[in-house]
Structure 1
Amino acid sequence: MPILFNTLRRTSFYWLTSLFLLLSLPALADEIAPQDTLENSIVKIYVTSKSQNSYSPWNADSFASSGSGFIIADNRILTNAHVVADHIFVEIQRDGTPKRYQAKVEFVSHEMDIAVLKVKDETFFAKSKPLALGELPDIHQEIMVHGFPIGGDTLSTTRGIVSRIEYMPYVHSGLSYQSIQIDAAINPGNSGGPAIINGKVAGMVMQKSGESAENIGYIIPTVMINRFLADIADGKYDSFPAFSMETQNLLSPSLKQKYQLKEDQSGVLISKVCANTAAEKVLKENDVITHIDGKKIDDDGTTALTARKTINFRHYLDLHQVGDTLNLDIVRDGKPQQIKLPLDKAVENTYTYDKEPRYVIYGGFVFVATEAYDGCQTREDYDERKDKEKKDDVSVTQVLAASGNLGFHDLPSLSVEKINGERFNTFEEFYQRLRATTDPFVILEDYAGYEVAIDRQLADSEHTEILEQYSIHKDRSKEVSGWDQTLAQRSQ
């Protein structure tokens, strides 16, 4: 009897266990499916890029690199701008499959280190689902970082926690924005991969700590990703609106007293308002900004991010698009005022990513142009400038030694202010004067008055020989060649 009872009990147990497993299969499938979706929606990015420099702008070396990315809505792939900077050819590969798909860079923000890719063959997306963008995580939340770091070809996952949310420089641009610090391991190749919390993207891997600290990395939060996606929704990238002023913190009680702030008032002091901007029309030096979009600014320049966390007040400017209006509360001469500041100007940058060098070689002198950067100037300083309309700076980056440039072979980089005694505003204007002069010498001057003399006849006669001696196949950039065609048409 006991034996029969035990047999029946075991049979019942096995039957109930089997029934439980059968009923649990859909639930187990639901748990497994998100991981399958994740693996199909994270990609490896292969990039062939070119490397150029202003010292020898006619040379362009190519190199191969890789990074990570992930699929979002509308069959787009997000990655870092630094992964695809100066790209020539881009390919996408899914984990576990050998086939690579050609892609193109659709939009890029070098400021935020974000790029959007499109795959030419949309069958690539057949087995994938877009990853959803989540909210700003809490400190100490567990986070999973996915990507394709160097050292292997398959998808890698590391675990960590969110340790900080702060306003700090992004390495690719040097500009500061909100970022999330995590303690998960990040290595070369991880860049552009998603950081996941509860099945949603909390941010995109950006960079590892430059310090000696182990396993410290940074991700771009989704609030900045969403800001980028909103910017490109109209089919073009406008960048960030310029905050056309300079400010200082008001931690000094004496300074607060000087600018007539009450005990319950705090903010930042405007030390300079940039000329020729919308800010110049509504703000003045020595105004104190107390609130930005209704959020109180503390004396250290921070404002509330969450109930327990603060962030640099400029974060709330960063969330605006060019063309928006920024609401500021200020104190001027002890009296509170409300200001509406039009954000009608994009921030200026000096990036050389994804651009061909603009150059011309003449007489062995290598002339390279860069966009002029004005910076923030007061009205007084701007009015005193002699080169208000200047768009391009032109420099001599090296001298290719020849008999026609004796005495200047060791010339360091020279910023050219004048050619034959005249200033110029653009590289095209500089080049036209270089070509059009009939004087026996081309005279260059820098901002200190240092002079360089080029024997025009000797420079013309030695030109081909110099190019052959230094194995230079192009003596000017494509843009300059276009100007030659225009000049030729005008002379006909």
Structure 2
Amino acid sequence: MPTLFRTLYRSSRYLLTAVLLFITFPTMADEPPSQDMLENSIVKIYVTSKAQTSYSPWNADSIASSGSGFIIEGKRILTNAHVVADHIFVEIQRDGTPKRYQATVEYVSHEMDIAVLKIKDETFFAKGKPLTLGELPDIHQEIMVHGFPIGGDTLSTTRGIVSRIEYMPYVHSGLSYQAIQIDAAINPGNSGGPAIINGKVAGMVMQKSDESAENIGYIIPTVMINRFLTDIADGKYDGFPSFSVEIQNLLSPTLKQKYQLNEEQSGVLISKVCANTSAEKALQENDVITHIDGKNIDDDGTALLTQRKTINFQHYLDLHQVGDTLTLDIVRNGKPQQVKLLLDKADESDYTYDKEPRYVIYGGFVFVASDVYEGCQTREDYDERKDKDKKDDISITQVLAASGNLGFHDLSSLSIKKLNGERFNTFEEFYKRLRSSTTPFIILEDYSGYEVAIDRKLADSEHDDIMEQYSIHKDRSKDVAAWDKELAQK
């Protein structure tokens, strides 16, 4: 073999060998984390929380529970919001060691079911490295779930595959976001643990399916985790933007013809624009939204997620921060145009966490306040409302039987509309009117006209005896005490 040919042959052979080695052996960055690293980076979270009810808001039962979490950048622990909801005390423990470290909840998104914890003793981070957040996985990829399910104190690992990626309600808030379904076994205590693919976190364990479905669990994908971490980067959690319209899919060819869409156009129909929102300035009822941030919306309300998968188009709204501007292509009266929608309102859940009950006991009646949840209303309905400034609902949740409330002992869950014939907007307004009344009787009226009468002098004279008889040590919540001081100064 000629010398030149032999030299080229050897060089190409060495180059081919090097390429094969590079392909065959992964780089250090792609190597899966060792068991030692996982044991030091994945933690068990012990939580003491309180459970309070509107029926007896002065009582707070102590509940012990546990969950999982893992170290992320910035000397922080990532876990689920439901793991630390209504917490009093939080502790962190590594696998294989009895020592526990006290932690605090730094940020929490009950909407997204994500929380970030800080550990007071930062020597904890001398061991363990932050786990790397990966990308959205493919369907059928193998996934490993790590955590501390109940029944043991050591790190548990289960294996499964990615079954589907969908847009669905999160149990903790009832709000819908992107989620990944897996078939790995998930049990109580796994919540907050990482699900790992190829050495990187693909998501955080969130919830399992109901009892009728075996080995179906859901994880929060990293795209949503990163969205949350970006939100809190400025030191404040703003939440997820609200899409202040109600929409209808356009699967009906007849409807598409009515709203003058051609065969190439697709989208969703706006059936209602929520009053008193920025959406009123940009959108109208009967507009058809065809694109969101340049992505085409199909008639079933989905947009492309990957080359082969689609997802509810509102996922692309969720990726925005409150205060961002959303670009929408619409068809209005048959004419295409583009609008900018200011996302200035955060989405809200009906569920309440990490808040003390607001209540007062008077005349044996237990009055409890709750935030008014404002649903989407048309401008016409909103303008006709007489209580558009109402912020709090007040309900009688139970009656502590006494001589001054005879005839009402079986009363519960009564929502109050008026006090002495007048409406009120806030708990503070209700309480101040209740305590400053000088009439012999206080008359409460519900929304159907049912009346409750309180003998004011008898209620005042019996109050201490009622508290003692029912062993109630606190007859009002903290916020009420400040209002008493204002009333005393008048």
TM over 0.5: yes
Q: What SS is found at the alignment partner of 2:348?
A: coil
Cα distance in structure 2, aligned partners of 1:474 and 1:166 = 47
Q: What SS is found at the alignment partner of 1:417?
A: strand
Does the 8 A contact of 2:31 with 2:198 survive in 1?
no
Structure 1 residues 33, 228: closer, same or farther in 2, change over 3 A? closer
Q: What SS is found at the alignment partner of 2:34?
A: helix
Structure 1 residues 32, 140: closer, same or farther in 2, change over 3 A? closer
- 1:135-194 per-residue CA deviation (whole Å, 9 max, x = no partner) reads 000000000000000111100000100000000111111111100000100001000000
Structure 1 residues 298, 32: closer, same or farther in 2, change over 3 A? closer
Q: What SS is found at the alignment partner of 2:179?
A: strand
- 1:96 deviation in Å? 0.7
Cα distance in structure 1, aligned partners of 2:111 and 2:148 = 24
Cα distance in structure 2, aligned partners of 1:116 and 1:374 = 29
- Which structure 2 residues correspond to residues 230-379 of structure 1 after superposition, within 5 A? 230-379=230-379
Q: Which residue of 2 aligns with 1:34?
A: 34
Q: What SS is found at the alignment partner of 1:187?
A: coil
Does the 8 A contact of 1:191 with 1:205 survive in 2?
yes
Q: Does 1:78 align with 2:95?
A: no
Amino acid corresponding to residue 77 of structure 2 in structure 1: I
Cα distance in structure 1, aligned partners of 2:461 and 2:487 = 21
Q: TM-score, normalised by structure 2?
A: 0.93
Cα distance in structure 2, aligned partners of 1:60 and 1:48 = 12
Q: Which residue of 1 aligns with 2:118?
A: 118
Q: Which residue of 2 aligns with 1:395?
A: 395
- 1:410 deviation in Å? 1.2
Does the 8 A contact of 1:34 with 1:199 survive in 2?
no
Structure 1 residues 442, 203: closer, same or farther in 2, change over 3 A? same
Cα distance in structure 2, aligned partners of 1:58 and 1:38 = 43
- 1:417-449 per-residue CA deviation (whole Å, 9 max, x = no partner) reads 110111111100000000110000011011111
- 1:346-403 per-residue CA deviation (whole Å, 9 max, x = no partner) reads 1233332100000000001000000111111100001000011111111111111111
Q: Which residue of 2 aligns with 1:109?
A: 109
- Which structure 2 residues correspond to residues 439-450 of structure 1 after superposition, within 5 A? 439-450=439-450
Q: Which residue of 2 aligns with 1:21?
A: none
Structure 1 residues 33, 312: closer, same or farther in 2, change over 3 A? closer
Q: Does 1:419 align with 2:428?
A: no
Q: Which residue of 1 aligns with 2:24?
A: none
Cα distance in structure 1, aligned partners of 2:211 and 2:320 = 32
Cα distance in structure 2, aligned partners of 1:268 and 1:210 = 31
Cα distance in structure 2, aligned partners of 1:198 and 1:39 = 17
Cα distance in structure 1, aligned partners of 2:31 and 2:426 = 61
Q: What SS is found at the alignment partner of 1:91?
A: strand
Q: Which residue of 1 aligns with 2:23?
A: none
Q: What SS is found at the alignment partner of 2:192?
A: coil
Q: Which residue of 1 aligns with 2:215?
A: 215
Cα distance in structure 1, aligned partners of 2:219 and 2:319 = 17
Moved more, 302-311 or 401-410: 401-410
Cα distance in structure 2, aligned partners of 1:350 and 1:196 = 32
Does the 8 A contact of 1:359 with 1:366 survive in 2?
yes
Cα distance in structure 2, aligned partners of 1:169 and 1:348 = 13
Amino acid corresponding to residue 391 of structure 2 in structure 1: K
Does the 8 A contact of 1:445 with 1:451 survive in 2?
yes
Q: Does 1:473 align with 2:439?
A: no
- 1:481 deviation in Å? 1.1
- Which structure 2 residues correspond to residues 186-197 of structure 1 after superposition, within 5 A? 186-197=186-197
Q: Does 1:181 align with 2:202?
A: no
Amino acid corresponding to residue 315 of structure 2 in structure 1: H
Amino acid corresponding to residue 433 of structure 1 in structure 2: R
Cα distance in structure 2, aligned partners of 1:55 and 1:161 = 44
Structure 1 residues 129, 256: closer, same or farther in 2, change over 3 A? same
Does the 8 A contact of 1:91 with 1:102 survive in 2?
yes
Q: Which residue of 2 aligns with 1:4?
A: none
Q: Which residue of 2 aligns with 1:203?
A: 203
Q: Which residue of 1 aligns with 2:409?
A: 409
- 1:277-319 per-residue CA deviation (whole Å, 9 max, x = no partner) reads 1110111100000000100000011110000000001101111
Moved more, 246-255 or 347-356: 347-356
Q: Which residue of 2 aligns with 1:434?
A: 434
Structure 1 residues 81, 238: closer, same or farther in 2, change over 3 A? same
Amino acid corresponding to residue 140 of structure 2 in structure 1: H
- 1:486 deviation in Å? 2.5
Q: Which residue of 2 aligns with 1:8?
A: none
- 1:36 deviation in Å? 1.8
Q: What SS is found at the alignment partner of 2:227?
A: helix
Does the 8 A contact of 1:40 with 1:95 survive in 2?
yes
The number of aligned residues is: 463
Cα distance in structure 1, aligned partners of 2:345 and 2:165 = 28
Q: Where does structure 2 lack aligned partners over 5 or more consecutive residues?
A: 1-26
What's the Cα RMSD here?
Answer: 1.3
Cα distance in structure 1, aligned partners of 2:255 and 2:446 = 42
Does the 8 A contact of 2:42 with 2:71 survive in 1?
yes
Structure 1 residues 251, 211: closer, same or farther in 2, change over 3 A? farther
Cα distance in structure 1, aligned partners of 2:356 and 2:272 = 35
Cα distance in structure 2, aligned partners of 1:31 and 1:425 = 60
Does the 8 A contact of 2:163 with 2:181 survive in 1?
yes
Q: What SS is found at the alignment partner of 1:54?
A: coil
Cα distance in structure 2, aligned partners of 1:212 and 1:351 = 25
Q: Among all aligned residue pairs of Structure 1 and Structure 2, give the percentage whose two residues are the same amino acid.
A: 85
Cα distance in structure 1, aligned partners of 2:160 and 2:348 = 36
Q: Which residue of 2 aligns with 1:61?
A: 61
- 1:211 deviation in Å? 4.3
- 1:32 deviation in Å? 8.5
Does the 8 A contact of 1:326 with 1:341 survive in 2?
yes
Cα distance in structure 1, aligned partners of 2:337 and 2:138 = 35
Q: Where does structure 1 lack aligned partners over 5 or more consecutive residues?
A: 1-26
Cα distance in structure 1, aligned partners of 2:102 and 2:227 = 27
Q: What SS is found at the alignment partner of 1:180?
A: strand
Structure 1 residues 33, 314: closer, same or farther in 2, change over 3 A? closer
Q: Does 1:157 align with 2:165?
A: no
Does the 8 A contact of 1:350 with 1:371 survive in 2?
no
Cα distance in structure 2, aligned partners of 1:349 and 1:31 = 40
Cα distance in structure 2, aligned partners of 1:72 and 1:327 = 33
